[in-house]
A and B are shown apart, each in its own frame.
Chain A
Amino acid sequence: MFSDLSAQREGSSLLCRPASEDQGPVFERTSLDYSPRTERYRVGERSFNRQYAHIYAARLMEMRPLLSERAKHKWGKNVHIRKLCDLETGEQCCIVGTLFKRMDLQPSILKEISEEHNLLPQPARNKYITEADELILEDELQRIKLEGKIDRDKCVTGSVIAIFGAEKNDGKFTVEDFCMADLPSQTPRPTLSCDKFVLLASGLGLGSSKADSMLGLQLLVDMVTGQLGDAGEQSGAATISRVLLAGNLLSQSTQDKDASTKAKYLTKKTQAGSVEAIRLLDELLLQLVASVPVDVMPGQYDPTNYTLPQQPLHRCMFPLSSVYPTLQLVSNPYEANIDGVRFLGTSGQNVCDIKKYSSMDSHLEILEETLRLRHLAPTAPDTLGCYPFYQRDPFMLEECPHVYFSGNAPVFESKLIRGSDGQEVLLVTVPDFSSTQTACLVNLRTLRCEPAFFSAFSADEDEESEMNISH
């Protein structure tokens, strides 16, 4: 663990007089091989002339052979895999298609603006699922209603699965069993000789009206850049070879909705909230990049496009820090090979969206579910904004990552799961720093993750200490 590492080093305590002419120890930051995989999530010129049907078609086309394999593996080689148009009533067979969950509470712009419904705009809810939801399976040509042994509340629209059952007389398909594409194949990661850490943090929340977390953030930066702590800790911090900021660098309060509705003459001299926040971010990044390679992913409240995949923040916003080659502005979702360990993750929008449309509450559980579905964001483009891709669906997982993370979770959670073919994946939900003051340290050698908690003291002393323990 990180702490153990730091404590093991010999360093004299700093509670002493300064030694004469001693400059102080200087440690070298451990470097590592880094190769980003940016092409997948880059959208060059955008054209919104297309319908979204193409993504679903591409998704189904790619997943169908994988699912047929899995189906044969699970239910025997002789299982009939039928297309919906070839279904015969009463015959036990397997069908492969995309799930669609019809939810009454799902916000629909057509319903909102329709006059016959006379609906007022609905407030945002926590969950949009009800008891009356229906599951439907669609393939290239047809769709059929599902019922039976399938947990309707756990499923989300857009997941491609294989279902085993039979069609009954009433035109519905009775599900006896189902299976997902499960984890893709994984290239084994190389064994590392020494401990190397990657720091994951998200939800820095700069530019917010309350600045409680700023000292915590400063402590984080100081620790990583080797200013904090004594020699032992500093040498431990030198093993942090990369920092990954997973989205929401700016706080939600910088998204000023009023600006668009207010009259122009009132807003003429006012600056957008994000301008100051980006300047703060630039200064923060400058401190970091002068000492460690940093990857910056955009998030929901950051100044980049709304639809997934979010393109990297533009370097012109970071005049001070973009001079350093250690600053990498990357897309959301993000995939990279860090010293042979494959990292894949998002800033959390996909997980939050699934949380709204299913009964699952734990970000970690949802993360695992997306991995098993072999798709980063199954709800895109239905309820999650997405670019209308044409011949490919870049959110499908083609290769299994070693570390799979999602940012801006309410709490820190991590789990190591194993796949059927010996894959080993570390799932990490990176907590929101502005509220939890916690970042994650992933050890590349052992593939374990440890939270790092930064705190300061405030006027309510007793409450503070309570909070520290029970976080």
Chain B
Amino acid sequence: MDELYLDNIDEYVNDHNKIVTYKWLSLTLGVHVNTAKQMLYHYLEHKRKESSPQLHATYLVSGKLEDKGQMCHKVSVVREDQLEDFKSKMSLIVSVHVYSVQKALLKDSGPLYSVDYDAIKDNLKNCSRYSAIRCARAVPMSAAELQQVQEIQRAPPSAPENKKSAMNGDANIASKPSSKPQKGIMGMFANKSAPKNQDNSKDVKPEPKEESPVPEAPKTKPAAKSSPMANFFGKKPEKPVEKQQEAQLAIASEQQHQRTTAEEPAAVQLHKETKADSGSKTKRMEESDSEEEKMEKKKRRRIKKPQPDSSDEDVIPDSPPQMKTSEPSPKKEPETVQHSHMSSGTKIRRRRKVLKSRTFKDEEGCIVTEKDYVSESYSETEDDFQSTKQAPRNNNKAKPTSSSKDDDKKTQKKSSASSNKGSKQASIMGFFQKK
């Protein structure tokens, strides 16, 4: 073994006036901790033989100590002069080695800690690389595993939530979900069966909670899909969860279809709900929700989603209609990750799939054209509404020059939305439709 390290240590101790601890040395030179300890000892010996300027050392002593009848394992850092004293007090000595070498005599062991702290700070990732113990399980998880863990963490707490809410029966004012309507909703989404006309007032609130505990993957997806609708009734935070879930799990096309078909009856049902009178607050919220509000919520929610997703593109925070439109073919495009959603949330009655090509600018400023099946709503008013949405979308990516135009479009969109809700007239936005 080359003796270069002696010079290295010499440099650190004498020239830089550092306190060289074994850990610092091991991390700096990239050697095993035991080797570092031995190096320090060697250096100390070497220097003492040469009778160079005085060096001080601290040692680590560990062993067994008898204390008030209790045997305890003691580990301590001591100065060289205290070493023999300590050794004599112990009943059994397990190990002794050099802890640090420095020029000045240390009165306090505080600086030792700061040296080690700095050494570790600089090498956070490999703090265990040179230690003498390896743990097979201590391997950092990959990003995918991490997200799975996060999912699991979110899902179980909602399961006890359900049970809790069930148990809160007497004193709790919040409505209790009964198991039957629960099954009904799940049945609706899982089996593509005709929607049952149940009183969904209770189900609305616990719906997002109920969805998540369902363990099966296929079920979670329709569940997640349906919860966007429930989300309209106030549960915004659920959305990023579902989006993540969907982003991760491979989206099979059958499930997509299932989703879309499931959403349709759900949409129909929700629509009926909104019309029906109910006493629950969520219903009231529903009724007061205008389409634009929902669109905005969707928009807001979508912006939240991109954060966990690193492979984000600008398309995602784009206007809501994209969600609707690109839903059926997410697997083809990377940005379809955004589609979890709801698109259908609004009162769209019918849909048809139309092959459309859309042009947009992605984040690098490149204009991208894509063709995909877009689920467009069928009825007249919806058509206009849809087209108004698309128009602003196309304009959104245009650079600053058209920013004011964007604002205009947005306000127009809002106004058109509100106007659409009220009347069924063809709106002025028809002008900006086909580009």
Question: Which residues of A pack against B, CB within 8 Å?
Answer: 1-4, 6-7, 11, 13-29, 31, 39, 42-47, 49-51, 211, 214-215, 218-220, 222-223, 225-238, 283, 286-287, 289-293, 315, 320, 323-326, 390-391, 438, 441, 450-459, 461, 465, 468-471
Contact = CB atoms under 8 A, between A and B. Distances in A.
Given A14-B37, A324-B141, A457-B76, 15 more contacts: A3-B71, A13-B96, A18-B39, A31-B135, A45-B158, A47-B168, A226-B133, A230-B34, A238-B132, A289-B138, A291-B128, A293-B135, A324-B138, A438-B72, A453-B73
A28 B136 contact: yes
Contacts of B32: 22-24, 26
Most-contacted residue by chain A among B32, B131, B140, B165 (CB, 10 A): B131
Contact of B98 (A15, A286, A454): A15
B153 interface: yes
Interface string B361-386: 00000000000000000000000000
Contact of A45 (B35, B93, B131, B165): B165
Nearest to A5: B94
A445 to B, nearest CB: 17
Interface in B202-245: 209
Contacts of A225: 127-128, 131, 133
21 contacts: A3-B94, A6-B94, A14-B97, A15-B41, A26-B32, A31-B136, A49-B171, A211-B113, A218-B116, A220-B75, A226-B133, A228-B62, A230-B96, A234-B133, A293-B138, A390-B167, A438-B72, A452-B73, A452-B75, A455-B74, A457-B82
B22 to A, nearest CB: 8
A215 B62 contact: no
Contact of A27 (B74, B107, B132): B132
A324 B110 CA distance: 30
Nearest to B91: A3
B135 A326 contact: yes
Nearest to A327: B138
- Interface SS of chain B: mixed
A108 B136 CA distance: 53
Nearest to B64: A3
Contacts of A457: 58, 76-79, 82, 108-109
Nearest to A46: B164
B184 interface: no
A283 B121 contact: yes
Nearest to A234: B132
A24 B73 CA distance: 24
A14 to B, nearest CB: 4
A303 B288 CA distance: 39
Nearest to B96: A15
B92 A3 contact: yes
Contact of B108 (A14, A219, A458): A458
B250 interface: no
- Interface SS of chain A: loop
A286 B127 contact: yes
Interface string B67-103: 1001111111111001001000100111111100000
Contacts of A451: 70, 72-73
Nearest to B2: A20
Contact of A456 (B77, B136, B156, B174): B77
Given A3-B73, A45-B165, A231 B171 contact: no
B131 A226 contact: yes
Interface of B: 1, 22-23, 26, 31-35, 37-39, 41-42, 45, 58, 60, 62-65, 67, 70-79, 82, 85, 89, 92-98, 107-110, 112-113, 116-117, 120-121, 124, 127-128, 130-141, 145-146, 153, 156-165, 167-168, 171-174, 209
A24 B79 CA distance: 26
Contact of B160 (A14, A43, A223, A441): A43
Contacts of A458: 107-109
A173 to B, nearest CB: 32
Contacts of B108: 457-459
Given A6-B94, A215-B109, A455-B76, A44 B167 contact: no
A115 B107 CA distance: 58
Given A24-B34, A49-B172, A283-B121, A291 B135 contact: yes
Given A7-B92, A24-B32, A47-B164, A453 B133 contact: no
A238 B131 CA distance: 11
Nearest to B112: A215
Contacts of B138: 289-293, 324-326
B127 A468 contact: no
A7 B61 CA distance: 13
A16 B41 contact: yes
A2 B158 CA distance: 43
B310 to A, nearest CB: 15
B95 A6 contact: yes
B115 to A, nearest CB: 10
B89 A469 contact: yes
Contacts of A31: 135-137
A342 B378 CA distance: 63
Contacts of B82: 457, 461, 465
Contacts of A292: 133, 135, 138
A14 B94 contact: no
A325 B139 contact: yes
Contacts of B127: 225, 286-287, 290
Contact of A215 (B37, B72, B113, B145): B113
Contacts of B131: 225-227, 291
A241 to B, nearest CB: 9
Given A326-B138, A441-B73, A228 B60 contact: yes
A78 B237 CA distance: 61
A27 B156 CA distance: 37
A1 B64 contact: yes
Contact of A229 (B70, B95, B113): B95
Nearest to A237: B133
Contacts of B110: 211, 215
A22 B145 CA distance: 37
A450 B38 contact: no
Contact of A25 (B62, B132, B145): B132
Contacts of A218: 113, 116-117
Contact of B42 (A11, A17, A325): A17
A98 B253 CA distance: 61
B3 to A, nearest CB: 10
Given A326-B135, A455-B77, A39 B94 contact: no
Contacts of A441: 73
Given A3-B73, A455-B74, A471-B67, A26 B124 contact: no
B167 A229 contact: no
Given A15-B96, A49-B171, A49-B173, A228 B71 contact: no
A470 B93 CA distance: 19
Nearest to B93: A7
